[in-house]
Amino acid sequence: MSSTSLFTDQINTATTTIVFCVLVINFLLGSISLVLNIIIFTRPTLRRQPCAIYFLTSSCLSLFVIYVILPVRIVSNSFNEDLANYYLFVCKTEFFLFFSVRATSCWAILFACIDRYFHSSSNVNLRRLSSIKTAKIAMILTSLIISLSYTHMIVYYTIKQTVNQYGTIRAVCTDQNGNYATFSAFWHMILYSLGPTIFMFLFGYLTLRNLRQGRRLVPAIRTENQRNIRRTDNQLSRMLASQVFVIVIATLPFSFCRIYVSLTENIPKDTLRLAQENLAIKTLGAMTYFTHSTTFYLYTLTGTLFRRELAKICQFK
C-alpha cells in the first residue's frame, strides 16, 4: 500500500471517529436538556413573555433534530447505512424535513431578536407587536414560508451513483449536479446561516440603540415592578445574545465549506482530496448540531431567571 493510500485511509478513519464522537456528544447534551427547556419555557413566569414563545418553538424543533435527525446521521456516518440511499421517497422527504426544521429553529431565534427590538422601542405601535399573539402568528407563518422555501429539494434531490471518499462508486441521496448543486448550497447558507445571522446582528444593534435612548428618556426613579421588568428583559437579552453567538460560529464555516465543494464539483479529484474534503464537510456539518444541543446550558449560564425556574423544577416537595 502506498503512503498516499495509507494517509487517505487514516483520514477516512479519523473522519468516521470524529463525526461519531461529535454527534454522540450532541445527542447526550441535547436529549435531556431540551426537554428541560420546554418545561421551563412553559412555566407561568416565562410563558407570559413573547420572547419565550420563540425560545420554546426553537427548543421543540431542536428536540426533533436531536431525537430524529441525529440518530439517522449517526447511523449514516458510522455504518454507511441510510434508507434515503435506497428509496427515492425517503431521500426527498428526509432531506426536505431535515433542512427545513433546522432552518426554522434558527429563524425562531431571529424572531426573538426582533421581539426584543419591538419591546425596547419608544414607539408604542412597535411595542404592541411584542405580544403572545404576534409570536404565535409569526411562528406559524415562518414555518410555512421556510417549508415552501425548501420544496425545491423534493423536486431536485435524487439517488445517484457517486464516488465516495474511499474511491468506491455507490448510490447516495444528494442534490443534482450542475447549477442546482451550487444554488442549493447558497440557498441553504442564506436560509440557515447567513440570512438569520445578518438580521440577528441588525436587530441586536437596533435593540441596543433603543435601550440607550430609553435610559436617557426614562426617569432615574423607577418602581420595584419596573426594575423587575427591566431585569427580566436584560436576562432574556443575554440568553438571546449567547444563542446568536453559537449560531454564528457553528453554522457559517459549514455553509462556506459546502459552497466550496459544490463550486469544485466538476474538478477531477483523487481519493486523497475527496477524503480531505469529506473530513472538512462532515466535521463542520456535525459541529452545526451544537446550535441545537447547547441552548439549555447557554440559558442556564446567562439567565438568572432561567436558573431560578430550573431550581424550582428540581426541588422535591
Q: Is residue 182 part of a domain?
A: yes
Confidence of residue 86 (pLDDT cuts 50, 70, 90): confident
Residue 123 per-residue DSSP state: -
112 is in which domain, residue-wise?
Answer: 3-214+225-312
Check whether 129 has a pLDDT greater than 70: yes
Check whether 51 has a pLDDT greater than 70: yes
Q: What is the pLDDT of residue 19?
A: 92
Residue recorded with cell 435610559: 215
Give tens-digit pLDDT for 180-195.
Answer: 888 888 888 889 888 8
Percent of the chain whose pLDDT exceeds 90: 25
Q: What values do phi and psi take at 169, rounded to 5?
A: -90, 125
Global pTM value: 0.84
Q: Is residue 231 part of a domain?
A: yes
Give tens-digit pLDDT for 214-263.
Answer: 655 555 445 555 555 566 666 667 777 777 888 888 888 888 888 887 77
**Close Cβ partners of 33 (under 8 Å, ≥ 6 residues apart):** 293, 295, 296, 297
The mean-pLDDT minimum among 15-24, 140-149, 232-241, 248-257 falls in 232-241
Q: Distance (Å, rounded) from C-alpha 106 to C-alpha 124?
A: 28
Q: Is residue 220 part of a domain?
A: no
Confidence of residue 68 (pLDDT cuts 50, 70, 90): very high
CATH number at residue 109: 1.20.1070.10
Check whether 174 has a pLDDT greater than 70: yes
Q: In total, how many domains does the chain have?
A: 1
Q: Distance (Å, rounded) from C-alpha 65 to C-alpha 171?
A: 25
Cβ–Cβ < 8 Å for 153, 68? no
Task: Work out the average pLDDT over 163-188.
Answer: 77
Cell of residue 280, nine digits = 472538512
Q: Distance (Å, rounded) from C-alpha 91 to C-alpha 209?
A: 46
Q: What is the pLDDT of residue 317?
A: 43
User: How far from 146 is each of 24, 143, 310, 311, CA to CA, in Å?
Assistant: 28, 5, 32, 36
Tell me the β-bridge partners of 147.
none
Helix (H) and strand (E) counts for the chain?
Answer: 15, 2
Task: Work out the average pLDDT over 99-127.
Answer: 89
The mean-pLDDT minimum among 100-104, 131-135, 167-171 falls in 167-171
Q: Is residue 168 part of a domain?
A: yes
- Alpha helix stretches (DSSP H) within 48-193: 50-64, 70-79, 88-120, 124-128, 132-149, 152-156, 179-188
**Close Cβ partners of 45 (under 8 Å, ≥ 6 residues apart):** 305, 309
Q: Is residue 317 part of a domain?
A: no
Q: Is residue 219 part of a domain?
A: no
3-state secondary structure 252-312: HHHHHHHHHHHHCCCCCCCHHHHHHHHHHHHHHHHHCCHHHHCHHHHHHHHCHHHHHHHHH
